[in-house]
Structure 1
């Protein structure tokens, strides 16, 4: 039974939980009012108290309706709900003994909820309102009640309430926010761990594939040499085969060099203009049929990189080229500039752009476009993060996608 109630309440949002508890408290208020008047024969003002309870019920029903329609901000809605609870409880206490009522400590409940669920300043608003309500109840007590030592007793109760409200608002609120921050940090750490595990798995798979390609590539080189000795084989065909084989061999060699640099954690400071030239050379060599527009505004800035940086940039450019294949405008704009002590490389294509719903799922193998699953983008992002860089994805207004790579510049 208890587990069922816990599961039932745990599925509710904060606002729904507050309104549900208010509904239960309304039932309890009616029961206590009838019990005190009919059983204990203690006459309380029926009419004003039932009017307050009716207003409380109407407010609760209206709040349920607004919540169902989603017409209010979550945090502001919680704040309004708790302020209403303080107000209604203060009104009921006013007509049932004021500060002498034993239930006056219930004003601490909204303060506790606010300290856990709301920000510091919103929680302080609830605490201040509760303290003001208690102070008004104490101030409006009849003089005949404040005789003898009772005045000191009620003032002591007020001071105790003030101290309890401050403890709940400051200490409990701080602990609740600290726990929330810790849980957020743990969640981010777990997400990073999962991402690293995926990257390691991809790295192991790519290393194995590269190792397995070395032998058949050497065989192809021998076959191309044997074909070159055959007079009936056209020279154009031989040249194409040799060019492709040499390109594969160069890629394998570059992969081995990059792997050794990463293993040894070798980094170097390099001029941004030199990087721009390397990117330009790769684009013109690999995609002669594509129109590239290069702009370099980096002057003599320098950044610190390792062997994985250029392949990471090349992956992004390759994706931009593939995305623009079916577009009428096949131009790729590559612009390097400096902004806020950051080296920025903007790569803009005029294809179909990214799927908007997936732009924030970079680390989860998103289906970014119809050309692939975005694995190369994810690997590029991982390589850049290791070098304190960042990768930004977006769609620009003129159509197509824009990817911005940022790297911190080296300060001499």
Structure 2
């Protein structure tokens, strides 16, 4: 029962209730007033059993059912309880408070609006039982005032249960939602930590063979200074060495927690220069303009943006394109960078989850996007991916600009 869903709990409770009715009703004939008319309950209980068997067959293996189906289950219990109470004394029945149970089930399994509907119907059912009591129950026993207060007590109890149970159910649902988000964030952080550890380990292991290759290259260059193959080796070796040194610089900056203030124009200038350096075969369409504002960032911001550009370049290469579009928009305290490629676009089933974690796709696991998105979120921004209406993918990065008073304070220092 601890792990049972709302519908499973309702079915179990109804099973015990029907079993109790089957045992107690025959005994009630001998210990209670014979005028109550327990035989009149047989058609009602039979119909209730048939409905319960149908519900068991349909929902016993399900943990989640639709809202209308759950509402129908709760209202059916309210209806059967009202019919049973109506045949056994109405509001004078000692078990009339059972009409509060559908409100409890509605509070833990339905929305606030539907909880209000069930509460009103329960109040209406009790009012019907109270108004249709036999006259002798009021006058012969002089219990009119007593039943009026019983009705008031039921109304208050129903409202209190609806408010308390509804609030507690909402609180539990919010807590479970928050815990699920925390579990997803923890899993994502574990993936990022594993990727970072693997990258650092691979980089460390590459340093020794790269140094050995550099020595061999120097010796070959001295022995064969004009060999074209050796001359072609110079550029990839130098590029690999630069990447390795850059990674060490980034690791040191992250370890020391260093941050820097960079204007929007400086960021765009460094980004466009990096594109020309790393992807000379691509044409970057960007309208040079002066943009106000500055951002506080660390050494990982530019690599994160370059990851997006590298993905865009790979998408372009898949369709033989060599054009990228970059646009910048400053709105108030927000900087928005948009990068569009002219590739095949992003698969719809991966569009909503790319950047949140490792996702399998035809082009890989989305590792670069996840690392980039983690960097943007750490800096207070976020990444949004979409498909452009005219073709290709569109990556939009939003970052927070530095506050003006902070900028003045920095300049004063």
TM-score by length of 1: 0.82
In 1, Cα distance between equivalents of 2:113 and 2:287: 49
In 1, Cα distance between equivalents of 2:96 and 2:225: 104
**Residue 314 (structure 1) aligns with:** 306
**Residue 196 (structure 1) aligns with:** 189
Provide Cα deviations, 1:341-370, integer angstroms capped at 9, x if missing partner.
432222222333334334426444211x32
SS at match of 1:354: coil
**Residue 3 (structure 1) aligns with:** none
Distance 1:51 1:330, change over 3 A: farther
- More displaced 10-residue stretch of structure 1: 337-346 or 29-38: 29-38
Match of 1:173 among 148, 166, 169: 166
**Residue 220 (structure 1) aligns with:** 213
**Residue 252 (structure 1) aligns with:** 244
**Following TM superposition, by how much is the alpha carbon of 1:67 offset from its aligned partner in structure 2, in angstroms?**
7.4
SS at match of 2:75: helix
Distance 1:355 1:32, change over 3 A: farther
**Residue 409 (structure 2) aligns with:** none
**How many residue pairs end up in the alignment?**
400
In 2, Cα distance between equivalents of 1:165 and 1:316: 57
TM-score by length of 2: 0.82
2:127–2:151: 8 Å Cα contact kept in structure 1? yes
1:298–1:338: 8 Å Cα contact kept in structure 2? no
Distance 1:198 1:140, change over 3 A: same
Are 2:157 and 1:164 equivalent residues in the alignment? yes
In 2, Cα distance between equivalents of 1:130 and 1:284: 72
In 2, Cα distance between equivalents of 1:238 and 1:32: 98
**Residue 115 (structure 1) aligns with:** 107
- More displaced 10-residue stretch of structure 1: 131-140 or 300-309: 131-140
2:354–2:366: 8 Å Cα contact kept in structure 1? no
Match of 2:280 among 278, 284, 288: 288
**Following TM superposition, by how much is the alpha carbon of 1:45 offset from its aligned partner in structure 2, in angstroms?**
6.5
**Following TM superposition, by how much is the alpha carbon of 1:202 offset from its aligned partner in structure 2, in angstroms?**
1.8
**Following TM superposition, by how much is the alpha carbon of 1:21 offset from its aligned partner in structure 2, in angstroms?**
5.1
Match of 1:326 among 305, 318, 333: 318
Distance 1:335 1:265, change over 3 A: same
Are 2:90 and 1:98 equivalent residues in the alignment? yes
SS at match of 1:245: helix
Distance 1:22 1:401, change over 3 A: farther
Unaligned runs of 5+ in 1: 1-5
1:36–1:43: 8 Å Cα contact kept in structure 2? no
2:6–2:108: 8 Å Cα contact kept in structure 1? no
RMSD after superposition: 3.5
**Following TM superposition, by how much is the alpha carbon of 1:329 offset from its aligned partner in structure 2, in angstroms?**
3.7
**Following TM superposition, by how much is the alpha carbon of 1:152 offset from its aligned partner in structure 2, in angstroms?**
3.0
2:354–2:370: 8 Å Cα contact kept in structure 1? no
In 2, Cα distance between equivalents of 1:267 and 1:83: 60
SS at match of 1:404: strand
Are 2:40 and 1:84 equivalent residues in the alignment? no
1:297–1:338: 8 Å Cα contact kept in structure 2? no
**Following TM superposition, by how much is the alpha carbon of 1:397 offset from its aligned partner in structure 2, in angstroms?**
3.8
**Following TM superposition, by how much is the alpha carbon of 1:183 offset from its aligned partner in structure 2, in angstroms?**
2.9
Distance 1:396 1:30, change over 3 A: farther
Distance 1:225 1:341, change over 3 A: same
